[in-house]
Amino acid sequence: MLIRIDPGSGVAIYDQIAASVRSDASRGVLRPGDRLPAARELADALDVNIHTVLRAYQNLRDEGLIDLRRGRGAVVTEAAVTGAALVDAVRALVADARRDGVGPQTLIALIREEYPA
Amino acid sequence: MTLPTTHTERPRRARMPLSIWIVAVVLPLLVGLVAVAVQLAWLPELPEQIVVHWGPDGPDGYGPVWSTTVLTASVILGLVVMFAAILSIPRGAAPTAIHKFLAVTSLAVSLLLGVGVTATLGIQRGLDDLSQVPDITPWMLVAFLAALVAGVVAWFLLPKAVTPVTDPQEAAPLRLSPGERSVWIADTRLSGSAFVVIMLTVGLALVATVFAVVVSDGQGWPVLFVPLLLLVVCGAGIAWRVRVDPAGITVRSRPFGWPRTSIPASEIAAVQTSQVDPLAEFGGWGWRWAPGRNFGVISRGGEAIEVTRRDGRRFTVTVDDAETGAALLAAYAGGSPAA
């Protein structure tokens, strides 16, 4: 699985970790039952604090995408892959936006308008 | 539903020419049959206890007369099943040099065993006193020569070896923003068929050694360490974790994290994805060396990350979603290790 972290992006690191796991699940790289790397290993690889990784994992658990069990680690749930069909739609949307010269901020704003929290 | 993009299709299961099966299976089975038939025909002329092992100073192991025939039949049959299993796995073009080598080895080993073991009975016919058993060395040389000659002849009679197609593709580096620290982690484990072949091999070694120890009344028990060592070595080659980070690529055996290997990003000259055929290129699975200064962690056939170092040495690891891992590694490669 690919975890992308850009400290300069202004987005909290733990949100970036969680977003990467979500997108890996959508791409089909992570399947239900797969185990995420131990928080310590991921923290070491990303050169971030272990609590940052744990916070990302806890958020993912709260969303129902992973199960956190003592001794078993973080396990991907069935729910994590149900959004997979969306990825194609998002790719198409981004391609359209690029073609029409719509920037990422504008596109995100448009989505927010359609889908308020 | 979207599935991970497979940029190259997995090659079809290889079709071995008939001649490979004749050399690897039919002829060795014939050798085994003839050996067993000859041994059974000699049975009335043999003493009940016979010499089954020769040490540097002559006979040093004794066993019941039936043990030799059982050993001949089971070991040759086991070997043939093992070679047949290995040869039924490969995908892509066939026969490669490794396929030919396996087939020829099957024939040579069965001849070595068939001729050699049968000769140990032949020289003991009509003897009452086991101390009169003549030297076995000349017959061992005959068996060895027969195996060697048959192997060489079979090699040249078999079709010319083909070179495996690996279809290497230069990895397109992932676009990273300045300061980005991304990590790619993937697990890879031995394919089912490879696992079966390895267990078959270790099992065969174990059965043969236990049999030898039992037949010789517990003499030579230290031999049992050989299959046990084999088991430990194989245990370190079942599952791995591959990690690509700003420092480079690391592959560790799981679950102990050892043995491991890593290549710093600064030493990497090129990153490619390729299709690996374990037998044809690496001669098997696990931690492997291949000709052409290529070292590999080979768990299965199919997609792999291939790294070329600045000094020309290569490293290959078979892993799912190799394209993504290779793309990230290519992005970090050649640069100074990120702080």
pLDDT in tens, chain A (117 residues): 899 988 888 888 998 998 898 888 887 788 888 888 889 889 988 889 999 999 999 988 988 889 988 777 888 888 777 765 676 678 789 889 989 999 889 999 999 998 887
Residue B241 C-alpha, separation from nearest chain A C-alpha, in angstroms: 9
Contact map slice: A 43-62 vs B, CB within 8 A = 45-47
Count of CA atoms in the C-beta half-sphere (13 A) of B271 = 28
Residue B245 C-alpha, separation from nearest chain A C-alpha, in angstroms: 6
Note the residue count of chain A: 117
3-state secondary structure of A44: helix
Of A27, A45, A87, the CB nearest to B183: A45
Helix extents (H) in B158-191: none
Question: For residues A87 and B2, is the Cβ–Cβ distance under 8 A?
Answer: yes
Name the residue ranges covered by the structural domains of chain A. Answer: 7-81, 84-114
Determine the distance from the C-alpha atom of residue B168 to the mean position of all C-alpha atoms in its chain, rounded to a whole number.
24
Question: Which one is predicted more confidently, B231 or B4?
Answer: B231
Nearest to B315 by CA among B258, B257, B256, B274: B274
Helix extents (H) in B158-298: 192-215, 225-235
Using a CB-CB cut-off of 8 Å, the residues of chain B touching A7 are 179-181
Predicted structure pTM score: 0.65
How many whole angstroms separate alpha carbon B82 and alpha carbon B79?
5
Of A8, A85, A88, the CB nearest to B179: A8
Amino acid B170: pLDDT: 85
Q: What is the CATH number of domain B169-190+239-332?
A: 2.30.29.30
Amino acid B159: pLDDT: 87
User: Which one-letter DSSP state was computed for residue B64?
Assistant: E
Least confident of B2-6, B166-170, B206-210: B2-6
Count of CA atoms in the C-beta half-sphere (13 A) of A75 = 11
Q: Which of A1, A17, A23, A34 to mutate to test the interface with B (most CBs of B within 10 A)?
A: A1
User: What proportion of chain B, given as a percentage, has pLDDT over 90?
Assistant: 27
Rounded to the nearest 5°, which phi and psi values hold at B165? Answer: -90, 125
Q: How many CB pairs under 8 A join A and B?
A: 63
Using a CB-CB cut-off of 8 Å, the residues of chain B touching A87 are 2
How many whole angstroms separate alpha carbon B242 and alpha carbon B320?
10
All residues at 6 or more sequence positions from B30 whose CB lies less than 8 Å from its CB, including other chains: none
Amino acid B3: pLDDT: 44
The sign of the CA dihedral A107, A110, A111, A112 is positive
Amino acid B1: pLDDT: 38
Taking CB atoms and an 8 Å limit, are A85 and B2 in contact across chains? yes
Copy the structure tokens of residue B136. 């076995």
Q: Is the pLDDT of residue B337 over 50?
A: no
Copy the structure tokens of residue B336. 């100074």
Cα nearest neighbour of A13 on chain B: B181
All residues at 6 or more sequence positions from A49 whose CB lies less than 8 Å from its CB, including other chains: A43
Q: Is the minimum CB–CB distance between A9 and chain B shorter than 8 Å?
A: yes
Name the residue ranges covered by the structural domains of chain B. Answer: 18-163, 169-190+239-332
Taking CB atoms and an 8 Å limit, are B2 and A27 in contact across chains? yes
Nearest to A2 by CA among A15, A16, A14, B39: A16
Amino acid A65: pLDDT: 86
Using a CB-CB cut-off of 8 Å, the residues of chain B touching A41 are 185, 243
| Chain position carrying tokens 């037949």 | B215
How many whole angstroms separate alpha carbon B123 and alpha carbon B46?
10
Question: Which one is predicted more confidently, B137 or A102?
Answer: A102
Amino acid B6: pLDDT: 42
Determine the distance from the C-alpha atom of residue B49 to the mean position of all C-alpha atoms in its chain, rounded to a whole number.
36
Pick the CATH number of A7-81 from 3.20.20.150, 3.10.129.10, 1.10.10.10, 1.10.1200.10: 1.10.10.10
Copy the structure tokens of residue A112. 């927010």
ipTM above 0.85, yes or no: no
Amino acid B21: pLDDT: 92
Q: Is the minimum CB–CB distance between A101 and chain B shorter than 8 Å?
A: no
Query: Which residues in B217-267 belong to E strands, given as ranges?
Result: 239-245, 248-254, 260-264
How many whole angstroms separate alpha carbon B253 and alpha carbon B240?
4
Q: Is the minimum CB–CB distance between A89 and chain B shorter than 8 Å?
A: no
Question: Which one is predicted more confidently, B284 or B32?
Answer: B32
Q: pLDDT-derived band of residue B218, with 50, 70 and 90 as boundaries?
A: low
Q: What is the pLDDT of residues B12-29, one digit of tens each?
A: 777 888 899 999 999 999
Taking CB atoms and an 8 Å limit, are A5 and B182 in contact across chains? yes
Task: Give the sheet arrangement for strand B183-189, strand by strand.
Answer: A2-3, B183-189, B239-245, B248-254, B260-264
Q: Which of B177, B182, B249 to mutate to test the interface with A (most CBs of A within 10 A)?
A: B182
Q: Is the pLDDT of residue B317 over 90?
A: yes
User: Which one-letter DSSP state was computed for residue B25?
Assistant: I
Max mean pLDDT among A27-31, B59-63, B79-83, B127-131 falls in: B79-83
- What does pLDDT average to over chain B? 82
Q: Is the pLDDT of residue B257 over 80?
A: no
Residue B247 C-alpha, separation from nearest chain A C-alpha, in angstroms: 9
3-state secondary structure of B44: helix
Q: Is the pLDDT of residue B232 over 80?
A: no
Q: What is the pLDDT of residues B187-201, one digit of tens each?
A: 888 887 778 877 787
Which residues of B touch chain A, with CB atoms under 8 Å apart? 1-4, 177-186, 241, 243, 245-246, 320-321, 324-325, 328
Cis peptide leading into B222, omega within 30 of 0? no
Max mean pLDDT among A71-85, B103-117, B122-136, B271-285 falls in: B103-117
Using a CB-CB cut-off of 8 Å, the residues of chain A touching B177 are 6, 8-9
Amino acid B11: pLDDT: 64
